[in-house]
Chains A and B, each alone.
Chain A
Amino acid sequence: MLAAGLIVFREMLEAALVTGIILAATRGVAGSRLFISGGVILGLAGALVLALFAETLSDTMNGMGQELFNAAVLGLAVVMLAWHTIWMSRHGREMAAQMRAVGSAVSSGSRPLSVLSVVVGVAVLREGAETVLFLYGILASDGDSLMATAFGALLGVVAGAGVGALLYAGLVAIPTRLLFGVTTWMVTLLAAGMAAQMVTFLSAAGVLDVAMDPVWDSSGLLAEDSLPGRLLHTLIGYIDHPAWPQIIAYGLTLLVIAGAARLVARPVRAQA
């Protein structure tokens, strides 16, 4: 039962952290809750379908279907996060000013919320499918009873969601004036970490044929599969033994998003 809880917790963690950041980044924007819940629900539904077709996916593309699928959805999330950040750098300041003036929610206007529901959706999708397969495995083997497994899984879900909620609570405690800047950076780092992870999958699939020798190894200092390591891995893309291609993907993503955001930013105009 505890084993089930632990693994569900681990799989949940990434999706919960991503959701927590996105919720904080869109706090006070009308309609954002709807779009984000929609993303979570679609992600869950997708996870069930994905688990059902896991064997088919696995066998496609010379047995590299899983890697390519993971790389593709990570790539999609990176593009969406980048697009949102760049868009916000153009319109965010005037929206923040408006929000302060009105003192509460502003209409989302043309803000690309659907883009964020895709990000949340694919985070749930990726981790969810693995969780479903794991739980199926436990139930199919003689091991634990249905009740014990269900209870363990529920504990894992609650604990995972709890960490996401803690992150959200911590973020929204930041004064509104600073929140926009903080969440922009968190979203950018999230995207950079995902880009590095995408490189790992492309290299595993043999599509990206590059040397993956570790540049350093800090696993003794902070192991990536420890709880703090996992948290940092999701939040800022921490890898305890990164290779150059991962570092380059990470750096490029940071540069492109921050650079493009600066480029399109414009002073607040009256019309808003």
Chain B
Amino acid sequence: MTTTVSPQQTTTTPPTTGSAELPSVAEGAGVWTTGPRGALLGLGIGAVLLLVIAPLTLGGFGLDLLGRYLCVAMVAVGIGLAWGRGGMLTMGQGVYFGLGAYIMAMHMTLADTTLEGETIPTFMRQNGVEQLPELWGIVQHPVVAVAAVILVPTGVAGLLGWAIFSRRVKGAYFAILSQALAAAFAVLIIGQPVLTNGSNGLSNFHSLFGWDLSDQANRTVLFLVVAAVLLVMLAVTWQLYRSRFGELLVAVRDQEERVRFLGYDPALIKTVAYMIAALFAAIGGALFVPVVGIISPADIGVVPSIAFLIGVAIGGRSTWLGPVLGSIAVSFAGTQLASAFPSFWVYLQGLLFILVIGFLPGGLASVLGLVRRRRSQGANDDGGQAAGSTTAPVSSEQEATR
């Protein structure tokens, strides 16, 4: 990057009357993409920490906890893409997380049932069901289950996304709609106790694809898989962010109409990003089930859907690593504080969210960007014609409602 901008310079041509100039987003919240070297470094550090140091230093409990954080962080990576880059404030990722999780949980419950020599899961028998519902039969085969984890949420997101975005529903309306979806989905799950075990959820899993989940060695392998999947997701988003699609997505976020006048259909671009976010959430959900050992409507409704957002906002939603780091940090803080002061943590979460959206829309990553700019400014002070004109202030309000 050779950009040199000095904010001291002022523009020579005054803006026309009536043309309210949109302030640009500060560097940190914007599109600073990490170069290949930085990305490899980031992924390398992540790989060493997660694949080597964590399994060696953490005990079974610690590893399970971290595995849980990583599953939630997968949702955050998707939200970073949809919200940070695509401007879609999706407050209903619980739907896709839940779809992935429930498909996996259904498969695992069935597998355990078969191992026990039964044909129908215990909770169904208690509900007086005598024949396995067809919906369950479908996911009995592991390959079908894995395919369903990938295809069902992505397909649902594709249909919903296209319906929503081609009608040009956006901003706060989209946020409300997505949140209502999460609420409706949780209600749907609770309302079908025969199929889903209602608000109790599905739990008590003993095996995954034939592996014994009570064996610590298997659990460690499971953790390694979770960590590797997250790293792959990060590599994918890194490439997406620096691809032409990534640039187009930012263009759609900032000026949807303008993109239309360049001959693209913004609905299509947004739908694709939304589908990828849904896929990440679904994979996170599917891995959450064997790692945590339970999935219930309490993990997928409105509150968890909003909780997914908080880490993303704090970390810096439009940056590459901000969402994942923010999410892990919030999960960690949550575990620490929730046991010490259970109700206080909820308030603190809310307060943090408000503070970040209000005063630091770029998240903590923007602080880093600010420091970077300060430094490069100092270096550039003595030389170089600057490119243009004024640097516009951060527009927090405008950003937040997108």
Same complex origin of A and B: no
